[in-house]
Chain A
């Protein structure tokens, strides 16, 4: 301590000089518009370069992931092209089949790959483009929810599992219809979290949670799980822990739900939003 003080005393002249200079220059930068703008530009340039370098570095590490994403993106784009033909075909076929009012169709599939222990879990199914599977189709197992198709290849489909931090779904309490958004917190593969249910809603342990049908992906009323526990957490909403009715560890056969009116619904919603703007 004493030697430190001695040291400080020895360099007090230089230290004081630095302090006063810093003070003066901060005064300068704070009070003079020109110098401030130069300074801000300089630091922005510096931090911009730093962030760019960092991003380049990160990009290198995530090349594999990006490749994967590109493959999936390609798949999705190809599918969109394909689906323009297919949807007409389907329409044509549906008229012929006289099931004009059919809204959803189910395709059975088998799980060929699955995980529950990552933060972003995906499931692979053995049905693909050839079987008419498209991205954004819902996947259920025994009438309870599993996930949503993310990308398809000729014979396989990748499904974002409900056990994925990026997965969000609109859900509601079955008995009174209060809806909120359900997502997984990445901890336990038995439990998901339902947010945005207001405090005045009557919820009990054991109540069923079902899909709300607001998204164009899921039909209304597919079972998600049962309320396991709930608590008030800041503000006016419940945090509800939902015990999932699907056992993701035992997933074997699933159904893929296609929504024939999905494009129509999205189109009209899109139109409404556009008109609003």
Chain B
């Protein structure tokens, strides 16, 4: 535990920097804004207390918000995602449950599992985020298209990121 905290802290900072300085400036054809900082919430240990999950999600979201000048938008979406995480983990749990000393990452549970896991949560996050950004339901389908395209793009980026850890099983 004591070893994982600094690692996650570093992770946090790197993800925020990556999001704020690189990905926030990317906007393909007005539809695609990838938000991959949520991978931090995805990869938190299984044993993380639920309340801590929400608090961390709020801190992460509000940090992104502070940098992108959208106070409350990312934090509410990220908290929503963190709220869903325990339920999603329950639903897609492998038959013999999660082993101890493992983390919800691609290298432990395989590509299919991780794809399902991240797809559901990232989609939920983006759905919440984009709808709270437009704050109305009148352009429902245009927004939905943005949600689908952006979340697919984010998921792809997250998966690619996961493959960087692939061989290094002793990392954590």
Contact between A35 and B135, CB atoms less than 8 A apart: yes
Given A21-B76, A21-B79, A38-B135: A16 and B71 within 8 A (CB)? no
Q: Does A27 contact B (CB under 8 A)?
A: yes
Q: Is the interface of A mostly helix, strand, loop or mixed?
A: helix
**In the bound complex, what is the Cα–Cα distance between A35 and B55 (angstroms)?**
24
Q: Confirm or deny: A31 has a beta carbon within 8 angstroms of a beta carbon on chain B.
A: yes
Asked if B136 is an interface residue, CB under 8 A from chain A, the answer is: yes
Which of B55, B70, B80 meets A21, CB within 8 Å? B80
What does the 1/0 interface line of A190-234 toward B look like (CB < 8 Å)?
000000000000000000000000000000000000000000000
B54 on interface, CB distance cutoff 8 Å: yes
Please pick, from A13, A17, A25, the residue contacting B72 in the complex, using a CB distance under 8 A: A25
Contact check: which of B51, B55, B72, B86 meets A24 at CB < 8 Å?
Answer: B72
Chain B contact-residue range equals: 20 to 34
Contact B54 A20 (CB under 8 A): yes
**Interface contact B50-A13, CB-CB below 8 Å:** yes
Interface contact B72-A28, CB-CB below 8 Å: yes
Q: Are A38's CB and B136's CB within 8 A?
A: yes
CB interface residues, B 99-144, toward A, < 8 Å: 132, 135-136
**B83 interface residue per 8 A CB criterion:** yes
Shortest C-beta distance, B139 to chain A (Å), equals: 13
Query: Cβ of A24 and Cβ of B135 under 8 Å apart?
Result: no
User: Can you report 29 A-B residue pairs in the complex whose CB atoms are below 8 A from each other?
Assistant: A12-B50, A12-B51, A13-B50, A13-B86, A16-B51, A16-B54, A17-B79, A20-B55, A20-B58, A21-B76, A21-B79, A24-B61, A24-B72, A24-B79, A25-B132, A27-B72, A28-B71, A28-B72, A28-B132, A29-B72, A30-B71, A31-B72, A32-B70, A32-B71, A32-B72, A34-B135, A35-B132, A35-B135, A39-B135
A13–B51 contact, CB under 8 A?
Answer: yes
B135 touching A26, Cβ below 8 Å: no
Cβ of B42 under 8 Å from chain A: no
Smallest beta-carbon distance B80→chain A, Å: 7
**Chain A residues positioned under 8 Å from B50 (CB to CB):** 12-13
**Which chain A residue has the least Cβ–Cβ distance from B70?**
A32
Q: Is B75 an interface residue (CB 8 A)?
A: yes
Q: Which residues of B approach A to under 8 Å, CB–CB?
A: 50-51, 54-55, 58, 61-62, 70-73, 75-76, 79-80, 83, 86, 132, 135-136
Q: How far is the CA of A1 from the CA of B50 in the complex (A)?
A: 24
- Bound-state CA distance A47–B166 (Å) is 56
Instruction: Find out whether the CB atom of A20 lies under 8 angstroms from the CB atom of B73.
Output: no
Residues in B with CB closer than 8 Å to A28 are 70-73, 76, 132
Find chain A residues with CB under 8 A from B61 CB: 24
- Given A38-B135, A38-B136; 8 other pairs, CB 8 A cutoff: A14-B83, A17-B83, A21-B80, A25-B132, A27-B75, A28-B71, A28-B76, A32-B70
